[in-house]
């Protein structure tokens, strides 16, 4: 078909992207998650492990699997890509180093697990076929190895999404490397450490083997050095500000993306705080990082309760009172309604009619301050709080108009 040759593209922009000119703009461009540095700091050990594994397999001309796990944002994909570009460089420099083919795949970018076959086949041979047909072709491709000398490195990201009930896709991927002529090296990346034991059948996890690697979440020192290495040669941050961001992120998740996002937001806040931006001395201070942290980590629920209308606040109080009286964490609408009306009487307000209270309840449920059981029966509908009772009391304390 003629469509096969089309290289899709987005229309070209009229004016090129502006390059950063001020210090803070430079800092922001470098702090962007997409600006991956040439060598990742604090992952040298993992880099060496993966590098020696892949290199030895390529040099031996054998195949093998490696399973790499770790929580999101710990640099798994970045490290593996770095290893690949390093090997690629070695191929260019060293004549004796054998050429290899790299096939990259991401489970999240497939609509369905069996599409993996289609993508691998397309990357290897440029052929386009249905999932079933590609699976057969690939089987043949890896058993015969006719007229093919290069080893293949297959990089599978988000492995857990290739799981199916029969696990056919996973089985094939880990079975190919064990074929004598395949010369296939599989690097599988996923989040959970015990994925092979948890979801895979025995015959798959045994094929996966024991070459495993776990990426630990970054500690605060590592996060700090990551941010510092990106800002090398730029006097944009106070060192304490970086440390604050690093410590906070390390305490919560150890996700490098979060630390970079916070620092990037802090540069924006610093820029709006002093629009002149003379570029002298450290510009982003503790207070900017602190505000960025508050923006990203704090829960808006207490503010939402404070900003709710009077009747909405009374309804929340009615729920809390009803819980206290019954000792349960759940109450039917009917009971809360009675509490609501008595609180209104106590406060000297005209009690609203049932339809209005229902509307108030629905509004609170739509922003998930309370949880409603899905039922068409209004009066018996069960209500739960989505915030703790103490938070309700704290938010509504001394807040009557």
**Between residue 330 and residue 359, which ones bind another protein under the rule CB under 8 A?**
334, 337, 341, 349-350, 352-356, 359
> Which residue in 48, 59, 325, 367 binds another protein (CB under 8 A)?
367
Structure token digits, residue 47: 């880099």
**CB closer to another protein, 186 vs 357:** 357
- Taking CB under 8 A as the binding criterion, the range among 47-55, 163-171, 223-231, 377-385 that sits at the site for another protein is 377-385
**Whole-number Å distance between alpha carbons of 244 and 291:** 11
Helix (H, G, I), strand (E, B) or coil at 213: strand
Q: Cβ of residue 206: shortest distance to another protein, in angstroms?
A: 27
CA–CA dist 53, 91 (Å, integer):
16
Separation CA 148–CA 97 (nearest Å): 16
Nearest Cα to Cα of residue 218 among 39, 30, 49, 42: 42
Q: Which residues of 273-295 are buried (b: 16+ CB within 10 A; e: fewer)?
A: eeeeeeeeeebbbeebbbebbee
- Taking the C-alpha atoms of residue 184 and residue 181, their distance in angstroms, rounded to an integer, is 9
In whole angstroms, how close is the CB of 147 to another protein at the nearest point?
A: 28
User: Is 20 a binder of another protein (CB under 8 A)?
Assistant: yes
Nearer to another protein, 247 or 264 (CB): 264
In the complex with another protein, the residue whose CB is nearer, 72 or 168, is 72
- Of 380-399, which residues contact another protein (CB under 8 A)? 380, 386
Alpha-carbon gap, residue 346 to 368, rounded angstroms? 27
What is the Cα–Cα distance from 126 to 132, expressed in whole angstroms? 16
Q: Which stretch binds another protein (CB under 8 A): 87-95, 177-185, 292-300, 390-398?
A: 292-300
Write out the binding residues for another protein, residues 91-120 only, by CB under 8 A: 108-112, 115, 118-119
Residue 387 CB contacts under 8 Å (≥ 6 apart), including other chains: 301, 302, 305, 369
Shortest reach from residue 119's CB to another protein, in Å: 8
Subset of 228-247 contacting another protein (CB under 8 A)? none
Q: Which of 300, 327, 346, 348 binds another protein (CB under 8 A)?
A: 300
Q: Which among 66-74, 200-208, 236-244, 319-327 is the span making contact with another protein, rule CB under 8 A? A: 66-74
Q: How far is it, in rounded angstroms, from Cα 26 to Cα 5?
A: 39
Of 191, 211, 225, 229, the residue at the interface with another protein (CB under 8 A) is 191
Binds another protein (CB under 8 A): choice among 257, 287, 382, 384: 257
Q: Is 374 in the site for another protein (CB under 8 A)?
A: no
How many chain residues interact with another protein (CB under 8 A)? 83
Q: Which residue of 363, 382, 384, 394 would you call a contact of another protein, by CB under 8 A? A: 363
**Whole-number Å distance between alpha carbons of 19 and 165:** 50
Residues 65/204, Cβ–Cβ less than 8 Å: no
- For another protein, which is the closer residue by CB, 12 or 146? 12
């Amino acid at each position: 078909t003629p469509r096969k040759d089309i290289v899709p593209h987005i229309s070209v922009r009229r004016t090129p992207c502006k390059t950063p000119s001020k210090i803070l703009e430079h800092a922001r461009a470098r702090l962007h998650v997409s600006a991956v540095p040439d060598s990742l700091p604090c992952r040298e050990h993992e880099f060496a492990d993966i590098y020696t594994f892949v290199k030895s397999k390529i040099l031996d001309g054998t195949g093998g699997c490696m399973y790499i796990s770790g929580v999101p944002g710990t640099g798994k994909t970045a490290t593996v890509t770095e290893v690949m570009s390093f090997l690629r460089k070695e191929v260019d420099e060293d004549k004796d180093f054998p050429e290899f083919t790299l096939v990259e795949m991401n489970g999240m970018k497939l609509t369905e697990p069996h599409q993996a076959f289609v993508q691998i086949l397309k990357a290897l041979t440029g052929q386009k076929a249905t999932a079933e047909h590609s699976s057969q072709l690939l089987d043949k491709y890896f058993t015969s190895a006719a007229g093919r000398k290069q080893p293949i490195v297959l990089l599978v990201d988000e492995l857990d999404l290739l799981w199916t009930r029969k696990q056919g896709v996973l089985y094939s991927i880990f079975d190919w490397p064990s074929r004598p002529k395949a010369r296939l090296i599989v690097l599988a990346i996923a989040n959970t450490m015990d994925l092979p034991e948890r979801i895979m059948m025995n015959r798959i996890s045994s094929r996966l083997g024991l070459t495993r690697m776990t990426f630990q979440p970054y500690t605060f020192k590592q996060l700090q050095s990551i941010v510092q290495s990106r800002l090398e040669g730029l006097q944009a941050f106070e060192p304490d500000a970086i440390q604050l961001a690093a410590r906070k992120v390390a305490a919560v998740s150890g996700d490098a993306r979060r630390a970079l996002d916070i620092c990037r937001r802090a540069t924006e806040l610093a820029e709006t705080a002093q629009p002149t931006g003379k570029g002298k001395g450290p510009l982003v201070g503790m207070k900017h990082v602190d505000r960025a942290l508050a923006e990203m980590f704090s829960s808006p629920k207490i503010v939402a309760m404070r900003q709710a209308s009077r009747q909405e606040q009374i309804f929340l109080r009615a729920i809390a009172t009803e819980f206290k009286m019954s000792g349960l964490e759940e109450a039917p609408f009917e009971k809360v309604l009675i509490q609501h009306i008595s609180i209104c009487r106590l406060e000297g307000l005209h009690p609203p009619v049932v339809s209005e209270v229902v509307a108030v309840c629905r509004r609170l449920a739509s922003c998930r301050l309370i949880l409603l059981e899905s039922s068409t029966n209004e009066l018996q509908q069960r209500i739960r709080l989505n915030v703790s009772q103490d938070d309700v009391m704290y938010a509504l304390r001394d807040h009557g108009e």
